[in-house]
Amino acid sequence: MAVRKIVLEPNEVLHQVAEKVDRVTPRVKKLLTDMADTMYEADGVGLAAPQIGVLKRLIVVDVGDDHGLIELINPEVVSAEGEQFGPEGCLSIPGFRGDVRRAQTVTVKGLDRNGKRVTYTGTDLLARAFLHEIDHLNGVLYTSLAERVYEITDQEEENEEEAEA
């Protein structure tokens, strides 16, 4: 539908707690569609509503696995197990990465675009994406969790793109 402008750090909206969505309306559905369009246009694997300036508890995630696009309204972490440690980036903080510890496997629940209760369990990148996007809904950026934050070079970006192709 529409690609929205991504809010960049240090915009204050990124540090605020998003509000619960009370009802799934056509406007909420359009927002989810716009979020997915925006995420894909930016070559991201996840996007939270605050990243486009909307303080609502909505996330979209697509890590390129069998799940495809996951849209969650009012997502919550049900369980988290194990540990992974690795690089993380953010569409709201372009040009940087950080080494972050996250759970290896997470189960999340929420509502889909039709208001139906859904539950997903993800490991590896999907677990990381769920946790990263849900953190956004609570005003938390990966940079506050990272053991180290570093600027990525143009060569590193090219290598990442080649590895993803």
67 is in an annotated binding site: no
Q: Among residues 71, 81, 88, 133, which one is catalytic?
A: 133
- Structure token digits, residue 102: 């996250």
Give me the sheet containing 96-102, strands edge to edge.
84-88, 96-102, 148-151
Q: Provide the b/e sequence for 23-40 (b: ≥16 CB within 10 Å).
A: ebeeebbebbbbbbbbbe
**71 in catalytic set:** no
> Nearest Cα to 47, choosing from 134, 108, 105?
134
The contacts of residue 138 (CB under 8 Å, 6+ apart) are 17, 18
136 is in an annotated binding site: yes
Q: Please, are residues 70 and 125 in contact by the beta-carbon 8 Å criterion?
A: no
69 is in an annotated binding site: no
Q: Which residues define the annotated binding site for Fe cation?
A: 90, 132, 136
Catalytic residues: 133
Q: Which residues define the annotated binding site?
A: 90, 132, 136
